[in-house]
A and B are shown apart, each in its own frame.
Chain A
Amino acid sequence: MSIAVYGTRHAQAFLGSLGRLARSPFATFLTVLVIGLALALPLALQLLVTNASRATGGFTSAVDVSVYFKQNVALAEVQQRAANARAQPGVAEVTVISADDALKEFQKYSGFGAALQALEQNPLPNALRVRPAADAMSPSDLARLERYLAAWPEVDTVQVDSQWVERLNAILDVLKRVLLVAAVLLGAGVLAVVGNTVRLEIQNRRAEIEVVKLVGGSNAFVRRPFLYTGVIYGVTGALVAWGVMAIALGVLEGSVANLAKLYGSQYALAGPAAEEVLWLFAGGAVLGWLGAWISATRHLRRIEPRA
């Protein structure tokens, strides 16, 4: 069979499948809706994870390590140590906070300005604020940096508040795993829905299948239109999922922006990226094809011509 004939036969099978689905619009709509909702749920979880990561991204990048020097350590020595710290890998920024600057800031923001003026000498030490690089925020990276800074003999205390970062990362990790489990379960659901729909169609077209086999149609030939049916279900289901997500994002966008504004943020909900949309459609097509293939292979084997 030439490639042109092969392509024509595939086009005929595809158009035939499309026509059959169009001839029963209500049943097709219900099936596509179920597949669309099943695909929309993992997509929604994916967007939740993406948006949660984006929303908390500012906080995780703001993890600072505070280094408090002993009272007798001069500012010049602190500046020398700052230079040492800057040379360390995984350090993005080092700020020297002199004892005087610290006192002024404390007076300004603490509400104890008058009381602090009564002090004979500045009780605050010179300090460094060390900000790790974005790719050096893991608990082990932070612990290593803490050990390095604490080893300086001039240092009194090193303070790393990384516990909440670990908790946040753990929550995001749980969300990612929930997403994975949901994707697998709902993917199996899509397989079942497509498989069952194809099974019913095979039953309805049993007489036709018998005739096709009788005139020499192979299982692969008979299966072809059902595979196209599965792919059409999967792709249109993905389209529905995309539409559902667009509507949901449209509804939530304003409220989330208002909430962010109250916290002084310009944060806005992000929709699915082009890559995620591509995955959605590819996933829908593959699940539809696979569901149809499993069902068609299983049921067509049992149908043989009768005389």
Chain B
Amino acid sequence: MIAFDHVVKRYPNGREALAGVSFRIAAGEMVFLTGRSGAGKSTVLKLIALIERPTRGTVLVAGKNLGALPSRRIPAYRRSIGVVFQDHRLLMDRPVFDNVALPLIVAGSPLKETDKRVRAALDQVGLLGKERMLPLELSAGEQQRVGIARAVVSKPTLLICDEPTGNLDRDLAVEVMRLLKRFQNVGVTVVVATHDIHLVQEHESGQRTIVLDDGRIQGGAGEEPLPSIVASR
């Protein structure tokens, strides 16, 4: 599903965020990316979401070489993945329904289909009935669940999450992690970047953890046999 091969990422200011990183993530796997702040976790996610391109090396996602993907094909690629952020990135002046529907609107989904899928996504994250509320009327945990619903509404095969529990208390964080695990259980590949090592330890059963430090892999890169959890969706 995802393969990083000797990936180097150097930013215009000269900082080298990744120094020859190689790892593999199989389809349907749930992987934690962990490490200290500045270790390179977010850069890995940026490369997967095609927010950045590698300076050197190869990033393959579902067989696509992202470094060589033409700019005009980036929107279509992004429509095939789901992204969850620590700060939710919700449109605060739009109701929950519109926020969750956004990827479907962008993809040109018919209105009836959009309505059906938004309600299904909200049901999955336990927010059905709150579709007319504005994000500001929701708790932090609920806002994060809206962000997750938006990420999964178009049924992506890959879900990447950048510090999805960073702003949440312990109970809400556990709730969000259970939710992500449920998506993995139906075959979605889930990559979670977090610096919360305790959270990782609580949920790493059956999951793999890739540890990054100063732009280098410190463990879990996939030398060990990959779990075969590729379920059909």
Contacts and interface: CB of A to CB of B under 8 A. Distances in A.
Query: Chain B contact residues (Cβ within 8 angstroms of A): what range?
Result: 20 to 34
A212 interface: yes
Contacts of A304: 51
A5 B103 contact: no
A9 B46 contact: no
B115 to A, nearest CB: 12
A218 B79 CA distance: 10
Contact of A306 (B51, B77, B90, B91): B51
Interface in A194-219: 207-208, 210-218
B110 A307 contact: no
Contact of A218 (B46, B75, B83, B102): B75
Contacts of B111: 5, 8
B105 A9 contact: yes
B23 interface: no
B42 interface: yes
Given A1-B108, A6-B108, A216 B103 contact: yes
A100 B216 CA distance: 118
A208 B109 CA distance: 20
The prevalent SS among residues of A at the interface is helix
B6 interface: no
Contacts of A306: 51
B45 A212 contact: no
Given A306-B51, A307-B85, A215 B103 contact: yes
A307 B164 CA distance: 12
A306 to B, nearest CB: 7
A9 B107 CA distance: 10
Interface in B77-116: 77-80, 83, 85, 89-91, 102-103, 105-111
B85 A212 contact: no
A254 interface: no
Given A1-B108, A6-B108, A216 B46 contact: no
Nearest to B106: A217
Contact of B106 (A4, A215, A305, A307): A215
A24 interface: no
A140 interface: no
15 contacts: A1-B108, A4-B110, A9-B105, A212-B102, A213-B75, A214-B78, A215-B83, A215-B102, A215-B106, A215-B150, A216-B78, A216-B106, A218-B75, A306-B51, A307-B46
Interface of A: 1-2, 4-6, 8-9, 12, 207-208, 210-218, 221, 304-307
Given A6-B108, A213-B78, A305-B49, 12 more contacts: A5-B109, A215-B79, A215-B102, A215-B103, A216-B77, A216-B80, A216-B107, A217-B106, A218-B72, A221-B106, A307-B49, A307-B85
